[in-house]
Structure 1
Amino acid sequence: MKIVAVTACPTGIAHTYMAAEALEAAAEEAGHEITVETQGSAGSTPLTAEQLAGADVAIFAADVEVRDKDRFAHLPQVAVGVKKAISGGDLLVAQAEEAVRNHVPAPAGAPAAAAPAGVKAPGQNSSRSGPGAASKVRAWLMTGVSHVIPFVAAGGLLIALGFALGGYQINLPDDSPLYEQILDGGFDAGSITAWGALAFGIGSAAFNFLVPVLAGFIAYAMADRPALVPGFVGGAIAVTTGAGFLGGLVAGFVAGGLVMWIKTWRVPRALAGIMPVLVIPLLSTAVVGLLMYVVVGRPIALITEGLTNWLNGLSGTNAVLLGLLLGLMMCFDMGGPVNKASYTFAVAGLSTGSAGALTIMAAVMAAGMVPPLAMALATVVRKSLFSDVERENGRAAWLLGASFISEGAIPFAAADPFRVIPSIMVGGAVTGSLSMAFGATLRAPHGGVFVVPLMGNPLGFLVAVVAGTVVATALVVALKTFARRRPARPAAEDTVTTSATERETVTA
């Protein structure tokens, strides 16, 4: 059987490629051919027309909307979240086999045949066990967030670099900020302050795209290219009206929903050709702009202002408790929905530029580094508790953890969830609360130790990471050691005495 697959996750960094590897291994094990298109942050090599024409089935392992999904309309499809591919690639291949056996191609001009549970038939938008409404909304949102992250990373790091070179006074108002004064007066290549001003100006320009990009790509995920224009325009108006990140969310969903509705209209054949390039962008942009300016913008601006004031007002116990909660969420599913909810909250706060939001971003990144670092340390402290494969994964987890790739702990959590996950959650909670208590700040949404020089209170950040890592390591070692020392129970009371080897058995 020839399989084509697409993997994609919101950040496009770890899950995307881990899922691809899992699917390739499972397909090879089952004796099938597979070609995977990884729609990650590094770009993707699209499947060729020949590969699509010769395929028997398509597998989508994605937490965001798959790009150019119409290419697969002629194939039976299996669609799941990206984590299911990582932990159960063999099950997905089995579902693909079942999909091919049950697939009945629709005759030309006839409606598509009913699809078996969990499989999409050609021409169908959904199936009985396909993604529900909540999953679709989350995928649309994550598509927008995934496109925002590179802008936040580039802009945040450049702004931080500008502060590092030019000092914090670079953005203080005085007729115009210092960086604007310097750039208006001509660039002096021999001045460090001028270089800082230049970095700050470029970073600020990148940050200006955050909300429009978020809204535009939420709309794009919902209704494809015709929705890009109203989404971007709605996001730009959200910035103008002060509605910010929340306004961008609303603009994106409104634009996408409106375009989805317009695309259902039955229009004369003469208009069909110009609908996607003229009629739909014109009507949808006008309506979205009207709603954002007149109806939605100001109320959301008030909510955004309240959120900013709340973030800035966090201090003492409130800040520590929030850091503890965010740390627990970051370590619960390592890249899953709960982790992404915490991460998205932190990234959303960055668009406000408030001091409270910067401490939240630091706490979230610090906690997200703990799971792989803790497991890497545990494989060094007590090698005997881990298999050869786990010790090999532990060596890779050092770099993954240092780079803020929480997914490095997934192999350990999958093998022993009841001991690993609670341990790293406690460690993450310690790290998140300490980071907030120390007041560490961060403008970049990614990077791990590689962005430490550009942090506020980097020493506090590192102390928080080390403390949480040590706590999580101690707990997981203690729990695994306790489990190993428990003797195996005989199968029955009259069973003969167990052998020495059996007495050493580790009980689950």
Structure 2
Amino acid sequence: MKLLAVTACPTGIAHTYMAAEALEVAAEEAGHEIVVETQGSAGSTPFTQAQLDEAEAIILAADVEVRDKERFAHLPTVTSPVKKAIGGAPGLIEQAVAKATAQPKGAAAAAVPAQRDGAEMDTKNFGSGFGSRLRGWLMTGVSYVIPFVAAGGLLIALGFALGGYQITEAPDVVSFGDDGVASVAFDPGAVASWAALFFQVGGLAFGFLVPVLAGFIAYAIADRPALVPGFVGGMIAVQTQAGFLGGLVAGLLAGAVVYGLKLWQPPRALAGIMPVLVLPLIGTAVVGAIMFLVVGTPLAAATTGLTNWLNGLSGTNAILLGALLGLMMAFDMGGPVNKAAYAFAVAGLSTGSETALMIMAAVMAAGMTPPLALALATAVRKNLFTKVEQENGRAAWLLGASFITEGAIPFAAADPLRVIPSLMAGSAVAGSLSMAFGATLRAPHGGIFVVPLIGNPFAYLLAIIAGTLVSAALVVGLKSARRTPAPAAAEQTATAPAAAPVAG
């Protein structure tokens, strides 16, 4: 059969492409043809019309809303989280083949009722349960925020690296006089000028975080008509100093308001302008009023309280927080728990407090440890791992060094009871040691490549090494203690003729 697939994860970095590769391998082994559209952070190459016409079914493996989903209305569809495609791609291929056999192409489109006002009036759907939908909405917002965080954070970190901590006092690169005329204060030959430029551009990028978060959470709930209320609600959260918490509430509020408005059946004369005028206008007015008059101040107080609590952490409390964040980072390696810890750290970056920078460092150290540990384990005890795992282990060196925790997923999927607890222990060690050493990080990503921008870098590397050794030792120890046949023997058995007797 000829199949299609779309893969998409919140960050658009690792899961998206690992799922695509897994589906391609599974389809080839099953004797089918598949074309995968990866809707990742690097953009995507859409299916051609010929591919859409020839396909017999499609797999949508995504944790965020698939773009232009109406293209696939005529195809039998299998939906799943992106992580399932990484660990269970053969099963998804089987489901797609079964659906294509049971439901001829074109029947899917006939079963879908006509849209009331076109694609603009659609409401996003991430699953049957409210928890699944809520997670999908939040992850969509986070996926659009991460490029702003990465670009802004790295530019700010580069500004500090070039200009020192006094860069915060640097004059504006562009200033306006009393007569309103703009003037540029920039010397191309001065490092301080470049530092100020990078710092100020990064700061402007950071200024978009809360509005973008709110806008795209609202978009995930109620599509494009909710974008304007979401962005405006996010800007009000910034003005009222409600921070990321305010952005989350503004996005959910804007999505709910526009979703409720879309349930109203408008007169035919208004139907055409509902998505572009009526819904954004009423939604923005309602969300703006609620954010300013009702929830803005309480959320600002809650954000201030959280910031003060973080700034007050020291000693044992800071170490325990680092351990907890480490456990979360390794628990599902890119899943919702991991993303919750990462989002918590990123949210703190906007405050600029010392403790928030320590938390970001601890989270990155804990996220780098799992793939590095498995890379080390496959290097020192190859006989405990299959040939495929050994190849994955070589790739995991670079993935771990780049802070792509998902590099550990193939190992965890194959042996979760031994691998996941081992990785959690090592990440807890790395996170707690990073906090204990007082390492700081202004960049939200980058791994080993942003170590020059890290406060106390040598101690930070020591924390990562310690966590890596702990996890690797536990993985090797637990796998050595198992009573099942060694992977090599299992592979030989699998490739032996069917009629051959198996010893033991």
The SS at the match of 1:331 is helix
Q: CA deviation at 1:346?
A: 1.3
Q: Which residue in the other structure is 1:322 paired with? A: 321
CA contact (8 A) 1:179 1:194 kept: no
For 2:154 and 2:253, the matched residues in 1 are separated by 31
Q: Which residue in the other structure is 2:62 paired with? A: 62
Q: Which residue in the other structure is 2:287 paired with? A: 288
For 1:248 and 1:124, the matched residues in 2 are separated by 20
1:180 aligns with 2:172: yes
Provide, for residues 36-66 of structure 1, a one-character-per-residue CA deviation record: whole Å limited to 9, x for no partner.
Answer: 1111111111223333343332211111121
Q: Which residue in the other structure is 1:495 paired with? A: none
CA contact (8 A) 2:10 2:64 kept: yes
- 1:179–1:366 Cα change, 3 Å: farther
The SS at the match of 1:180 is coil
Matches within 5 A, 1:396-411: 396-411=395-410
Matches within 5 A, 1:457-472: 457-472=456-471
- 1:148–1:107 Cα change, 3 Å: closer
Q: Which residue in the other structure is 1:345 paired with? A: 344
1:93 aligns with 2:97: no
Matches within 5 A, 1:445-464: 445-464=444-463
For 1:374 and 1:47, the matched residues in 2 are separated by 38
CA contact (8 A) 2:124 2:221 kept: no
Q: CA deviation at 1:126?
A: 6.7
CA contact (8 A) 1:226 1:276 kept: yes
Q: Which residue in the other structure is 1:394 paired with? A: 393
Q: Which amino acid aligns with 2:150?
A: A
The SS at the match of 1:390 is helix
For 2:222 and 2:206, the matched residues in 1 are separated by 25
Segment drifting more, 183-192 vs 160-169: 183-192
Segment drifting more, 75-84 vs 358-367: 75-84
- 1:357–1:124 Cα change, 3 Å: closer
Q: Which amino acid aligns with 1:232?
A: F
Q: Which amino acid aligns with 2:377?
A: A
1:438 aligns with 2:437: yes
Q: CA deviation at 1:286?
A: 1.2
Q: Which residue in the other structure is 1:374 paired with? A: 373
Q: Which residue in the other structure is 1:174 paired with? A: none
Task: Say what the alpha-carbon RMSD is for the aligned residues.
Answer: 2.4
Provide, for residues 478-506 of structure 1, a one-character-per-residue CA deviation record: whole Å limited to 9, x for no partner.
Answer: 2222226999xxxxxxxxxxxxx968xxx
The SS at the match of 1:483 is coil
- 1:125–1:8 Cα change, 3 Å: closer
For 1:258 and 1:124, the matched residues in 2 are separated by 12
Q: CA deviation at 1:178?
A: 2.2
1:24 aligns with 2:24: yes
1:156 aligns with 2:153: yes
Segment drifting more, 197-206 vs 67-76: 67-76
Provide, for residues 339-374 of structure 1, a one-character-per-residue CA deviation record: whole Å limited to 9, x for no partner.
Answer: 122112112222222221111111111011111111
Q: Which of 134, 139, 146 does residue 137 from structure 1 map onto?
A: 134
Q: Which residue in the other structure is 2:276 paired with? A: 277
Matches within 5 A, 1:258-269: 258-269=257-268
1:256 aligns with 2:248: no
CA contact (8 A) 1:179 1:201 kept: no
1:228 aligns with 2:230: no
Q: Which residue in the other structure is 2:117 paired with? A: none
Q: Which residue in the other structure is 2:5 paired with? A: 5
Segment drifting more, 183-192 vs 282-291: 183-192
CA contact (8 A) 2:57 2:75 kept: yes
Q: CA deviation at 1:394?
A: 1.2
For 2:13 and 2:112, the matched residues in 1 are separated by 39
- 1:406–1:126 Cα change, 3 Å: closer
Q: Which residue in the other structure is 1:49 paired with? A: 49
- 1:201–1:20 Cα change, 3 Å: same
CA contact (8 A) 1:179 1:200 kept: no
CA contact (8 A) 2:86 2:410 kept: no
The SS at the match of 1:50 is helix
For 1:22 and 1:301, the matched residues in 2 are separated by 45
The SS at the match of 2:145 is helix
For 1:93 and 1:262, the matched residues in 2 are separated by 39
CA contact (8 A) 1:143 1:217 kept: yes
For 1:152 and 1:277, the matched residues in 2 are separated by 29
CA contact (8 A) 2:123 2:259 kept: no
Q: Which residue in the other structure is 2:498 paired with? A: none
For 1:223 and 1:502, the matched residues in 2 are separated by 61
- 1:131–1:66 Cα change, 3 Å: farther
The SS at the match of 2:172 is helix
Q: Which residue in the other structure is 1:77 paired with? A: 77
Q: Which residue in the other structure is 2:496 paired with? A: none
- 1:32–1:108 Cα change, 3 Å: closer
- 1:110–1:461 Cα change, 3 Å: closer
- 1:107–1:420 Cα change, 3 Å: closer
Q: Which amino acid aligns with 1:442?
A: L
- 1:402–1:452 Cα change, 3 Å: same
- Can you give the 5+ residue segments of structure 2 that lack an aligned partner in the other structure? 115-121, 176-182, 487-501
Q: Which amino acid aligns with 1:402?
A: A
Q: Which amino acid aligns with 2:317?
A: N
The SS at the match of 1:144 is helix
Q: How many residues align?
A: 474
Quote the sequence identity (%): 70
Q: CA deviation at 1:76?
A: 2.6
- 1:297–1:107 Cα change, 3 Å: closer
For 2:48 and 2:2, the matched residues in 1 are separated by 14
Q: CA deviation at 1:179?
A: 3.6
Q: Which residue in the other structure is 2:334 paired with? A: 335
For 2:260 and 2:305, the matched residues in 1 are separated by 33
TM-score by length of 2: 0.89
1:169 aligns with 2:169: no
The SS at the match of 1:134 is helix
CA contact (8 A) 1:106 1:112 kept: no
Provide, for residues 57-92 of structure 1, a one-character-per-residue CA deviation record: whole Å limited to 9, x for no partner.
Answer: 221111112122222233332211111011111111
- 1:272–1:419 Cα change, 3 Å: same
- 1:109–1:479 Cα change, 3 Å: closer
TM-score by length of 1: 0.88
Q: Which residue in the other structure is 1:493 paired with? A: none
- 1:192–1:373 Cα change, 3 Å: same
CA contact (8 A) 2:422 2:472 kept: yes
For 1:182 and 1:285, the matched residues in 2 are separated by 32
